[in-house]
A and B are shown apart, each in its own frame.
Chain A
């Protein structure tokens, strides 16, 4: 007898443009004490499965086929009240964002006790004892006092522990966790996964983990179901799916995962999901527009040299100077980047790496220090028109593909804006030619020019961003987490594109990421940042093989272990 049995599930979302089948004929089974991973990229329909099982599918979503059995008893046909009694009591749910999952106006005791009293009918005193006990089980120190606190008094990781405690209140038989660690930092992610795995074994709970993250899958699951466009393409033990996948989608998905242990030349087989509309052509700088009139100063030393850079933010405003509170987001950072080099900057959120990038391109004015670019200290430039000369040479690619393009402008105008501003073309006709050519080079094709950003997917938008950055014919490119908002296969495509362009155009790059495996694929040298300070700078391979600083070793230890993943078709680059 299966603990939970989802049979031929079909979920539809009727809309103005026709019915969208979010989940199509999906069958899943979970046994007690087992962790089943449901993996897929955005739009695969994986989250709606969880909502359908507990009867909280949001309208207009509708379950139009299939059955759900809990210990052989069919539950999808139950009435609203009977379904409610199953929720929390027999099937628990954990959501993605611990910051918004708790009622901010109630103490966690009130929330725990309410749930316990409801399901277990224990009475107040017993319920309180159980609440404290639950908090202890999920690893909250000093639970007797902390239970009186409000959610805002806990950190993100601690709140997710509270959420897990709430899900466990009534000893449910099944727990469905929807991206439970996506909103957390890597170090906390590992702890929460350990906790969930331990509780699952101890209490013999059947768990479904819905995630996009192969690291989470490799870390915690026993079996994996791979979803693609609402369909279940492959299911099996974790070792089998990761090590020897059968379906071409699974193969391409796994080959697109950046490996922490090897450096690839390119990502192979990544066109399964979103094929490029045109194959990017090779750019020959001798004849191409991008190579024309590169009237840049020759540099003898490094192209970019940061000296003792400091950035201060005021955290408490006050008229009285002594009462003002400030903190240094970037504290005494110095490094050089040679021409043609890709320099990586890595660190956890809040480490100051993006602030460095924003100072380099003059979005922020440093509190102290120098930004020397091609021999000129950019912080000393007073006039805007003089600065324009350097702006042309230095462009930036941003993180969020949905906010980095102005939704009110056509792609043509978005890419033409820098060309027109820096007067890089004489006629409108020439501008249009350059734009269509750039679109070809980033794999979108000329037809993209007449459309608006919202008509493109995240990966395609990131290609538009890259085309816009190239439009000033820069020699230096800053990439600020350019793929962290993208699905893994799209990420592989964009990283391939950036690699190709870097080689063909001889670009110098500052590549910022929180993701060490990505850094390993992209960078020649790496700087590690922690709380505004640069703790280590080393050649990439040296950093991964022989880390010097304690913090670097800590970060490397926290990387997901992906050694179970198939190496099929990968071409390793020798250092």
Chain B
């Protein structure tokens, strides 16, 4: 639903990620956050600019 709402607002829904990571999976947590951070960097600034 959030993805659809983002679409309506003209915000790229690739900017949203939802992942479940157990507290025992430190390595996976790092991986998820690093790859998502990279993805956002590649996408560049969002249309809202810098958040107030």
The finding on whether chains A and B are genuine partners in a shared complex, rather than unrelated, reads: no
Binding site for A on B (CB under 8 A): none
